[in-house]
Structure 1
């Protein structure tokens, strides 16, 4: 029988330093849907490459989850309006953010972009707030395009309203398509190859397209955006690429543009 080894019972106290405010990276927050399987991974990709950093460590990105139903309907999305306070309370107390993003394109439309901004600012210490819809419109404007294709996972009144909202913002949707799936948990499992083929179908519908917007933070677009742009010759903006680009821009962080699409070459 082995003899029990004796453990040290005393510890040496060692000095340490605390990161100064000047040395902290940009402070970002993300409100992620309970059902989203994609956005957190893609944000690490799109926010990578800040000066002096090969990965996403050049920014500090904190996440919280907001309760939502897996079935995507206007009614279910609107219920999130009353759940922001609980979700935002899970961020560290008294934490100051340069920017917070709300990770739902459709709910940003249903609740209202300005309303989302007001709610988040009323519950968090933050300078800027953005959404995928807000960011997509800013990104398409930065790309100087007007004739776009629109790809959504859902077929519902929300998709029609989204196209109307894009039209009101000055972007004519001349080709539109959907995967016809209503559950967010399934949308998060749609393959990047399927998305690539769908973008090709939109370009076939209208060869005069100037850009394609892929709507929904659950769709895994990061692996195929650069490929799609090379193959089809038009900029491709996804909900996740747009919100990451906008958050980096609002926080004043110049992230790498490599492999992320034309949008990241815009200011």
Structure 2
């Protein structure tokens, strides 16, 4: 039985804000990703910044061919993030795929859906972060196999970094990569960094390095740049948020060069 209640339309017209939140960060992540979304909620989302997520298909194992297969999904994923509305930045959260597909190709695919939006990829964010810290000679730690790691050597060398050492863990499933404990990462970082390296880059958005940033820097005596740290830092700075967050390591206290 339907209750007989009169429903009235208010005569008061509410004022509408231009946006529920001042800044909007779009985030495109893998269907299998356990780590990026919590990291961005922890490091990027706040009273003035919203993080809006779309997931795209991905099939393990992590190989160059499987990574490259995600490229056709990028435009569609960008369309699904607040359709018809502007975003301040979009991050495609896969380091190894960004390397094998290419930063420019990823930017073009995303901007086909969101023209003019700044696009962040983890490896290019890593390059900007390492430069902000003044690093020229770096050590790199990845969770991948040698096959998947090798293109990253060329990527950083192509951006004029000297590679002091490169260590990989030989894993081929991103769900296992997400299960490496932050405590284990501290010991892995201590083992991976070369004595003459200016900084350490830990690759992979699945890896929970951001949770151990301060401990890794204390253990190695050098600054850390990880995929999610660099991406979050870039997104914050592109949103105009320059607030230092030293609990996430030295990078999160640095400004980012504009232009």
Stretch moving more, 212-221 or 120-129: 120-129
For residues 259 and 13 of structure 1, what CA distance do their matches in structure 2 show? 50
Matched, 1:234 2:234: no
1:47 to partner: Cα distance: 1.7
Kindly report structure 1 stretches of 4+ aligned residues shifted beyond 4 Å: 10-15
Cα displacement (A) at 1:91: 1.6
Deviation per CA, 1:206-265, whole angstroms, max 9, x where unpaired? 222210000000001122101111222100011000011111122222234230111112
Alignment partner, residue 240 of structure 2 = 252
Provide the C-alpha distance between the structure 2 equivalents of 1:171 and 1:157, rounded to a whole number of angstroms.
20
Counterpart residue number, 2:158: 168
Structure 1 portions without partners, runs of 5+: 1-5, 49-55
Structure 2 counterparts to residues 57-206 of structure 1, below 5 A: 57-203=47-193, 206=194
Aligned pair count?
253
Question: Do the aligned partners of 2:244 and 2:254 also contact (CA within 8 Å) in 1?
Answer: no
- Work out the CA distance in 2 between the residues paired with 1:258 and 1:178: 27
Is 1:27 the counterpart of 2:24? The answer is: yes
1:129-167 CA-to-partner distances (Å, cap 9, x unmatched) read: 110011000110111111111111111323111012101
Three-state SS of the structure 2 residue aligned to 1:57 is coil
Q: Give the deviation of 1:125 after TM superposition.
A: 4.3
Q: Which has the higher contact order (CA 8 A, sep 6+)?
A: 1
Structure 2 counterpart of 1:41: 38
Task: Report if aligned partners of 2:32, 2:175 keep a CA contact under 8 Å in 1.
Answer: yes
Instruction: Answer whether contact 2:146 2:168 (CA < 8 A) is retained.
Output: no
TM-score (norm 2): 0.91
* TM-score for both structures, normalised by structure 1: 0.88
Give distance in 1, aligned partners of 2:196 and 2:26: 37
CA distance in 2, matches of 1:236, 1:182: 23
Alignment root-mean-square deviation, CA: 2.0
Are 2:209 and 1:209 equivalent residues in the alignment?
no
Instruction: Map 1:214-225 to 2 at 5 A.
Output: 214-225=202-213
Secondary structure at 1:9 match in 2:
coil
Partner secondary structure for residue 164 of structure 1: helix
- The 1:92/1:163 distance shift into structure 2, 3 A limit, reads same
Q: 1:9 aligns with which of 5, 8, 15?
A: 5
1:51 alignment partner in structure 2: none
Shift of 1:34: 0.9
- More off after superposition, 256-265 vs 192-201: 256-265
Whole-Å separation in 1 of the counterparts to 2:47 and 2:177? 28
